[in-house]
Amino acid sequence: MAILGIDECHRSDVLGSLVVCGFICKEEEQKELYELGVRDSKKIQYKIRKLAKMLKNYPHKIYRISAEEISNCKNLNELEGKY
């Protein structure tokens, strides 16, 4: 079984683009990731760069959504879901 985590940053068209990241791992890898300190991105800001280097070995996908697209959407959650 696989587990998918999704997070985003810059949820405002005033500040610029929206970046959404989906990260998938095997269920048995979840414990290893927690031991590395992977948690809610808002709670691990001080070590996010260090973790990012370690996580590059796992499958992941990053999308950049333009400020214009954010401005023109009616529902930000639907826009994130689209990506």
Which pair of tokens denotes residue 2? Answer: 């696989």
Tell me the pTM: 0.51
State how far the Cα of 68 lies from the Cα of 29, in Å rounded to an integer.
37
Distances in whole angstroms, Cα of residue 72 to Cα of each of 14, 54, 75, 81: 12, 36, 9, 15
Given a cut of 70, whether residue 16 has pLDDT beyond it is: no
Residues 6+ apart with CB under 8 A from 60: 21, 22, 23, 24
User: pLDDT tens digit string along 40-77?
Assistant: 767 776 677 777 787 777 777 777 778 788 888 888 77
